[in-house]
Amino acid sequence: NMNMILSIIFFLTSCVISISGHGYLLEPVARSTAWLVDQSFRPCCTYSNHMEMFCGGITHQWSTHGGKCGICGEPYDKANKLFEKGGAMYTGKIVKTYTQGQQIDVTVVLTANHKGYFEFRLCNLDSNPNSEATQECLDRGILKMAGTDSTKWRDVDKYGSETIKIRVQLPSNVACRHCVFQWKYTTGNNWGTDPATGQSGSGMGIENETFMGCSDISIVANGSPVETLPPVIVTTNSPVKPGNPQTTTTTTTTTTPRPSGGLTTWSSSNVLYKVGHTVSYDGVKYLCVHDHTSFVGAEPGPLTWAWWKRID
């Protein structure tokens, strides 16, 4: 009948949409994306697939591992996770420092919108600085959206493929030298059935594609009481390297001011591009949407959505 035909068409459309989406945590910048904004990460940690931290894909995540995922978005069963402690691209470098109890601005970049919702979590590693965060620790530290009692940000479907800023409330009782901040995006484009109601539709089941990102941050105490922490139980399957997290170091970089005037040809020679600048690259015009300094490999295109938007 017609209802069945429409349901099949909707299901197939959802499948097509669901394979095209990508996203990443830009601020505080995720371990897998840090090379985009901090040149000190580029020699060790340039990762072109940083928009694909989706737990190995929906089938692998749910059919094989019952929904489990690495804390930074790598497949749960990956033997040596690149971005967890002991991994080849793990540094532990603190990328952002906040204040206890602060309302923080979090930036997420989506290159395709899957509906669904965002969640943010925090794990304090100070009680065991040689350990990695665990999902259990992160789940105990789920954060609320600023000014609300909600732990889910559900306005994803109001946006397109763009940069999204969300204000998140840090706990009033947490200060840390090294905390892991986690972004989790549970999409809403996959066909499923709600186990409670039996109703079927896009995003109604529990098996939805998931994107993750994890960042290393510090939270400075403001004099308020701070919680007493139990030790973090290490469950990561990556070898753990002893030592404390690195702190942000100052790097001196010589930048070249962008030539004045209108449209210019993009340059990789440490040119400072600011929001509103326009460039031409490979015959295509781009608009700068985020201040940054150029470098070889950061040319405008699909991998640099955080900086450039195609305008023709």
User: In this structure, are 35 and 146 located in the same domain?
Assistant: yes
pLDDT at 306: 67
pLDDT at 297: 63
Residue 64 scores a pLDDT above 80 = yes
Unique residue bearing structure tokens 């600011």: 274
pLDDT at 25: 96
pLDDT at 203: 61
User: In this structure, are 164 and 92 located in the same domain?
Assistant: yes
For the record, the structure tokens of 43 come out as 């020699």
Unique residue bearing structure tokens 């701070």: 226
Q: Residue 237 and residue 4: Cα distance in Å, rounded?
A: 45
Q: Residue 73 and residue 95: Cα distance in Å, rounded?
A: 18
Cα angle 261-262-264, degrees, rounded to a multiple of 5 = 95
Q: Which of the pair, 213 or 19, is modelled with greater confidence?
A: 213
Residue 119 scores a pLDDT above 90 = yes
Give the type of residue at 9: I
User: In this structure, are 185 and 267 located in the same domain?
Assistant: no
User: In this structure, are 154 and 286 located in the same domain?
Assistant: no
Do the domain assignments include residue 153? yes
**CA distances (Å), origin 272, targets 203, 255, 292, 311:** 42, 6, 6, 20
Q: Which of the pair, 60 or 189, is modelled with greater confidence?
A: 60
Q: Residue 175 and residue 167: Cα distance in Å, rounded?
A: 19
What is the mean predicted confidence (pLDDT) over 13-26? 60
Average pLDDT of the chain is 80
User: In this structure, are 8 and 137 located in the same domain?
Assistant: yes
User: In this structure, are 162 and 269 located in the same domain?
Assistant: no
Q: Residue 62 and residue 207: Cα distance in Å, rounded?
A: 6
Sign of CA dihedral 164, 165, 167, 168: positive
pLDDT at 150: 93
Do the domain assignments include residue 226? no
Do the domain assignments include residue 241? no
User: In this structure, are 33 and 162 located in the same domain?
Assistant: yes
CATH number of 105's domain? 2.70.50.50
What is the mean predicted confidence (pLDDT) over 297-305? 71
Do the domain assignments include residue 200? yes
The range of the structural domain enclosing residue 279 comes to 256-310
pLDDT band for position 113 (cuts 50, 70, 90): low
Query: Number of structural domains, the chain?
Result: 2
Give the type of residue at 74: E
Q: Which of the pair, 159 or 182, is modelled with greater confidence?
A: 182
CATH number of 281's domain? 2.10.10.20
User: In this structure, are 43 and 115 located in the same domain?
Assistant: yes
Tens of pLDDT, residues 185-221: 998 777 666 667 676 666 666 678 899 999 999 999 9
pLDDT band for position 263 (cuts 50, 70, 90): confident
E strand segments, 176-235: 176-186, 191-193, 200-202, 210-220
User: In this structure, are 122 and 47 located in the same domain?
Assistant: yes
* Phi, psi (rounded to 5 degrees) for 170: -80, 150
